[in-house]
Structure 1
Amino acid sequence: MIENQITLETIFQNIKDTKRLPIIFVGSGITKRYTDKKYSWEELLKRCIEEYDDNPTNKYKWYRQKIKNEYGIEENDSYQMYKYLGTLIENDFNLSYYEGKIRGLSVPEEEENPLKYFIKELLQTYKIDEKMCQEIEELKKLKDKMVTVITTNYDTFLEDHIFVNHKRLIKQKMFVDSELGTLFKIHGCVSEPSSIVLTHKDYENFNKKSKVLSAKVISLFAENPVIFMGYSITDENIRNFLKDIYTCLENEEEYRAFENRLIIIEYEKGIQNPIVGSHSIYFDGVQIKLTKITLEDFTLLYKEMGKLEDIVELKEIQRLRNLVYQIVYDYNGEAKKVINLLDDEEYDGNEVALHHKLYLIIEDRCA
């Protein structure tokens, strides 16, 4: 892909041509952009340290040095570094809380982890950045145009304001109905502090229990366009998903098709007109190419995304899908059957009914 030979318009026309709506993968950059909770991962950890140490910046550097010395973690291995940082900070924070050194925090008895409860208290309330209201309004228009939203964010901005019709599922819980209309929070949520993935142990447990999740996400990535926003693709889970898909491909045509479905949105101050180009990531001997869109103002991006073909209201499709599942899996011998409402003369109003062609259309439009 040669830079500037492709535009936002052609990117989203290509997505329309696939006849599949995109999956969107959302990172912390979106919460930072639109709310007053402007924490990167490092900034969040330092904010936690601030509760029990007078010099959080130096303490953070001390932790990093300790991890390098004791665990042999390289400075640039951010994924492993953050896991051990979370572990050390959790230990010191919780000990400090139980020693009475952290004032202003009252953890309920049923909560087992003071640090995770503090993160809940810190992130569960926020204010919208008023300067970004126009962008947020454009983003809201996409609420029914993203099949699945996957996020590593703990906060609730997405479900509160944007994807309000999506069903929120947290961590390793199965997609109860289908991936359609799902907001999947793979690293936990402040609504359930114990679900937050923060420490080395949390990540190990997550990896052990995430086989079904991995298979589901790999399937979604393999079949649908994927848009990464507010995210740098440094998380090992995401890299593994991409690598697992990539290693299953068999020829150059499949490689190109997969890479053309991957789009990353990158903010850069001062970029008035969107710049579209290619971007490569390298890990474990694998190179994966993506389309990169660089811009400062996301309004044009959201407007182009808004031109994607509308689908029926997500809640209505979910209701119909659940109805089909209820019929198909009802083994109680009740008087239910699937009928064709257009020409079934035997219908007497007592059966649950759904036109079989409608069900096929739902599957085709939303797979």
Structure 2
Amino acid sequence: MVDITVELTQLLQRSGGAPFLFVGSGFARRYIGLETWSKLLERFCVGLKDYRYYLSSANGDLPYTASLIAKDFHEFWWAAPDYEQSRRLFGGQVNDFASALKIEISNHLRAISVDYERDGMLKQEIELLSQMNVDGIITTNWDLLLEELFPDYKVFIGQQELLFSNPQSVAEIYKIHGCSSQPASLVLTREDYADFQKRNPYLAAKLITIFVEHPVIFLGYSINDPHIQAIIASIAECLTPDKLVQFERNLIFVGRPAEGQGDAFEGAMITIGRDRIRVTNIITDDFSKIYAAVDATKRRIPARVLRYCKEQMYELVRSSTPETKLAVLDLDEIDQKEDVEFVVGVGVATKQQSEAFEIHSDLVRSSLGARGYAGVLPDDILADIVRDQSQYSAVDLLKSSYPSFLRLSNRYIPAFRYLRAAGVDSQAALDRSDFDAARTIVKRTNKEGFEVESYRKQYEREFFGLTTAEMLEKTTPEKALLMIPFQQRDEVDTNVLRVFLEQNVQRMLKGSYASFFRKLICFYDAVEFGF
């Protein structure tokens, strides 16, 4: 039997560029149980005519069906008691006949999240997905699943935002058919699709570099999907013959097998107009084989860091007003950038890395008083905090290592455990102590809290009232980093949390979620040892 992971890994390695995902409705059905488009429209025919009436009146054309339903739903929505609260909240956003239907579809989609209780294979796939470091994602889906799985990625909604912004083609999500977070952006009706098709050449021009320079893996689409074929056709028309060959090599479709069919990794032809384009077609029911191949070829630097670097380079080159602010930033702190500009240097990588390490070591050693603590770095502290027993002398750390941390950029460095061990058990005692550096670091670390506010509604909807153990059981480790800090401190089970942190410290301190993991360790330190 063909080994999908091996074959795809080799294909991705030959391509040179990091992969993009192109995600369709089948992806959302797989992981959040979302209805088909037809079933979604049928849901909102309650109180209207039979859905089959609209579908047959439109000769089976779903965008036209949506237009017919939207016109009747517009009248119904303004009078139905069931939508009184929606009218009060969103009435000001209704500016055409389709607005009411888009608002209610968006409300429905925003209430749906990952079904973590599904069978083991899908849970494993979700865990792999959330760890992947793909360069970017293009999608026609309206739900919020991708934002949930890739919280660090910048989102561009609709053609307009993509066309008139400055995307960096890394750590970004392009929602080309709109998003439920902005109901008016949804490409839903026949009129919406007509407008979308008119802009297709402009969208193709924006996406052409991605399709030529990156492998693009299509998930949740049929290889014969007419809307995808239209986008591919628009891009293909812009390419010279040599670029077209590379374009074809980068198109990878993933489909599920028919009953009795096994895994397959093969070439296939799709017909677009009078042209035929060769693509790679992968057949499997286990998408973890796909995600494992992507993970095996991921960039060593997190995609979000690369996107920030590219974005800041563009701003500096474009700007005519130089700034003088400089800072040395840890990679995982680079997004904490309120008033910091950006500088890039070019040199030999191995030599630069060696020199950077020596500079960093000198910073640490310069203020150390205890010879045995010359090599202690913030990551050593983070790993030690979650051990059952600390391996350091608290007083030596606070006096010899913490002063050097003031000169580093790491915002999240825990200290309460060592302060307690050194006899400091209150803020007043800390103020009287001679641990000046630790006092400053405690204030800096705890200043802004530990919650990621954009996830508060999801916590309240899905995790409120659960114990720490129940939260860890329900979701992936990556999502737990974002949810646990919303617990009330007297409800946090610190024993369960410490074990979770210790089990994941080696993997997550170096992964794409490292900044969230550091923040959660500091949260644990504050809850367990703080005052």
Smaller-chain TM-score range?
Answer: 0.7 to 0.9
Tell me which residue corresponds to 2:518.
none
Question: What letter is aligned with 1:188?
Answer: G
SS of equivalent to 2:93 = coil
Following superposition, the deviation at residue 167 of structure 1 comes to 0.6
In the alignment, structure 1 residue 61 sits paired with structure 2 residue 52: yes
Indicate the larger mover: 293-302 or 203-212. Answer: 203-212
User: 1:272 touches 1:297 (CA, 8 Å); kept in 2?
Assistant: no
Question: What letter is aligned with 1:157?
Answer: L
In the alignment, structure 1 residue 11 sits paired with structure 2 residue 11: no
Question: What letter is aligned with 1:197?
Answer: V
- Which of 26, 42, 47 is the aligned partner of 2:43? 47
CA distance change for structure 1 residues 98 and 7 in 2, over 3 Å: closer, same or farther? closer
Following superposition, the deviation at residue 135 of structure 1 comes to 1.4
Tell me which residue corresponds to 1:307.
296
In the alignment, structure 1 residue 324 sits paired with structure 2 residue 313: yes
Tell me which residue corresponds to 2:109.
123
Tell me which residue corresponds to 2:17.
20
SS of equivalent to 1:110 = helix
Tell me which residue corresponds to 1:153.
141
Tell me which residue corresponds to 2:254.
265
- Which of 158, 162, 167 is the aligned partner of 1:171? 158
Tell me which residue corresponds to 2:77.
97
- Which of 135, 150, 153 is the aligned partner of 2:125? 135
Normalised by the size of structure 2, how large is the TM-score?
A: 0.56
Question: What letter is aligned with 1:166?
Answer: Y
Question: What letter is aligned with 2:321?
Answer: N
Q: C-alpha separation between the residues in 1 aligned to 2:237 and 2:198?
A: 21
Indicate the larger mover: 201-210 or 188-197. Answer: 201-210
CA distance change for structure 1 residues 13 and 332 in 2, over 3 Å: closer, same or farther? same
Following superposition, the deviation at residue 114 of structure 1 comes to 1.5
Which stretches in structure 2 are left out of the alignment for 5+ residues? 327-339, 350-531
SS of equivalent to 1:306 = helix
Which stretches in structure 1 are left out of the alignment for 5+ residues? 54-58, 69-74, 76-80, 338-349, 360-367
CA distance change for structure 1 residues 148 and 315 in 2, over 3 Å: closer, same or farther? closer
Rg larger in 1 or in 2? 2
Indicate the larger mover: 278-287 or 84-93. Answer: 278-287
RMSD over aligned Cα atoms: 2.9
Q: How does 1:269-308 map to 2 (within 5 A)?
A: 274-308=263-297
SS of equivalent to 2:301 = coil
CA distance change for structure 1 residues 237 and 190 in 2, over 3 Å: closer, same or farther? same
CA distance change for structure 1 residues 114 and 255 in 2, over 3 Å: closer, same or farther? closer
Normalised by the size of structure 1, how large is the TM-score?
A: 0.78
Deviations 1:301-323 (Å, cap 9, x if unpaired)? 22222211333122222222232
User: 2:113 touches 2:145 (CA, 8 Å); kept in 1?
Assistant: no
User: 1:52 touches 1:102 (CA, 8 Å); kept in 2?
Assistant: no
SS of equivalent to 1:21 = coil
Indicate the larger mover: 263-272 or 298-307. Answer: 263-272
SS of equivalent to 1:106 = helix
Q: Which has the higher helix share?
A: 2
User: 2:309 touches 2:342 (CA, 8 Å); kept in 1?
Assistant: no
Question: What letter is aligned with 2:144?
Answer: T
CA distance change for structure 1 residues 357 and 40 in 2, over 3 Å: closer, same or farther? farther
CA distance change for structure 1 residues 333 and 219 in 2, over 3 Å: closer, same or farther? closer
User: 2:205 touches 2:235 (CA, 8 Å); kept in 1?
Assistant: no
Percent of aligned pairs with the same amino acid: 29
Q: Which has the higher strand share?
A: 1
Deviations 1:95-148 (Å, cap 9, x if unpaired)? 111232755762322221211111011111124332221111112121x2x212
SS of equivalent to 1:115 = helix
SS of equivalent to 2:277 = strand
Q: How does 1:246-265 map to 2 (within 5 A)?
A: 246-251=236-241, 255-265=244-254
Q: C-alpha separation between the residues in 1 aligned to 2:224 and 2:65?
A: 16
User: 1:270 touches 1:296 (CA, 8 Å); kept in 2?
Assistant: no
Structure with the greater relative contact order (CA < 8 A, sep ≥ 6): 1 or 2?
A: 1
Q: How does 1:329-340 map to 2 (within 5 A)?
A: 329-332=318-321, 334=323
CA distance change for structure 1 residues 358 and 40 in 2, over 3 Å: closer, same or farther? farther
CA distance change for structure 1 residues 234 and 106 in 2, over 3 Å: closer, same or farther? farther
Following superposition, the deviation at residue 283 of structure 1 comes to 3.3
CA distance change for structure 1 residues 92 and 176 in 2, over 3 Å: closer, same or farther? same
CA distance change for structure 1 residues 7 and 191 in 2, over 3 Å: closer, same or farther? closer
Question: What letter is aligned with 2:26?
Answer: G
Question: What letter is aligned with 2:137?
Answer: V
Deviations 1:300-356 (Å, cap 9, x if unpaired)? 22222221133312222222223222321221365589xxxxxxxxxxxx9953214
Equivalent pairs counted in the alignment come to: 323
